[in-house]
Amino acid sequence: MTLLAVYCAGYYSLNELDLASTRLAVSSPLDRAIPFSPRWIWIYLSAPAVFLSPVILVRSRSQWRHVVSSYAWILAIHFAFFWLFPCSLPRLHPMPAFPESLAFEFLYGLDRPGNCFPSLHVAMVFAAAWIVRIEAPATGALMLAAASLISVSTLFVKQHTLADVVAGFAAAWAVTLLCARRAGN
C-alpha cells in the first residue's frame, strides 16, 4: 500500500506541475504513422490489474523483496525523468464515439498529457510479469503477453511514443534484473 501511495503522490504531483513551457514533444515519423485507434483504450486501462497482480500472485519473502525493490526503483527513475526531462504528447485527435469516449474522458480527467518518457505503464507491467514468472511461469507468460498488448495500446491511444515504450521496457528490464540478483532470485 505504501508503494501505491508513493506512485499516486509522485505521479500526480509531477503531472500537475506547470512544466508546460519546458515540456518536450518526442515524436518520430513512425509515431505519427501509427493511427489513433480508440478501441485500444480498454487494453490500456487494464494496466493496473497487471501491475497490481503480484499482490495476489507472489508468495515468497524473497519475491516480495523483489517486487518492492523493483517497483521502488522504477518509480524513482521515472519520477526523476518526469522532473528533469519533462515530455508531453499533444492530444490532437478527435474524441471517439461512445463507449470509448467515456473511457477517454476518465483517462484525461486523471492523466494530463505529461509524464511520458519513459513509459511508466510499460515499465510496471513488464516488471510485474517478469517477477511473477519466477514463481508461476505459465501465469508470468500470460502476463508478458498482456504487457506486450498494453505496450502496443499506449501507442494506439496516443499516450506514448515509441521512444517512451522502449525506454520504459529498458528501465523495467534493468531494474528487475538487478533487484532479482539482490533478492536472491
- For residue 16, the tally of other CB atoms under 10 A from its CB is 10
Q: Report pTM.
A: 0.90
- Cα gap 38→159, rounded to integer Å: 11
**Amino acid identity of 63?**
Q
Distance of CA 72 to the CA centre of its chain: 14
**Amino acid identity of 58?**
V
User: What pLDDT was estimated at residue 1?
Assistant: 62
User: What pLDDT was estimated at residue 149?
Assistant: 99
Q: Write phi, then psi, for 17 (nearest 5 degrees).
A: -60, 145
- Cα gap 12→108, rounded to integer Å: 12
* Whole-Å CA distances, 155 to 39, 105, 164, 166: 12, 18, 9, 11
How would you write 123-138 as a 3-class SS string?
HHHHHHHHHHHHHCHH
**CA neighbor of 183 nearest in space, from 68, 51, 53, 72:** 68
User: What pLDDT was estimated at residue 151?
Assistant: 98
User: What pLDDT was estimated at residue 108?
Assistant: 84
- Cα gap 75→132, rounded to integer Å: 19
Please list the pLDDT of the chain residue by residue as tens digits (185 residues): 677 777 767 676 777 765 555 666 678 899 999 999 999 999 999 999 999 999 999 999 889 899 999 999 999 999 999 888 888 777 777 788 889 889 988 888 777 777 889 999 999 999 999 999 999 999 999 999 999 999 999 999 998 999 999 999 999 999 999 998 876 66
C-beta of residue 153 within 8 angstroms of C-beta of residue 139: no
- Cα gap 101→107, rounded to integer Å: 10
* Residue 178 CB contacts under 8 Å (≥ 6 apart), including other chains: 73
For residues 75, 114, 109, 3, the Cα torsion angle rounded to the nearest 10 degrees is 10
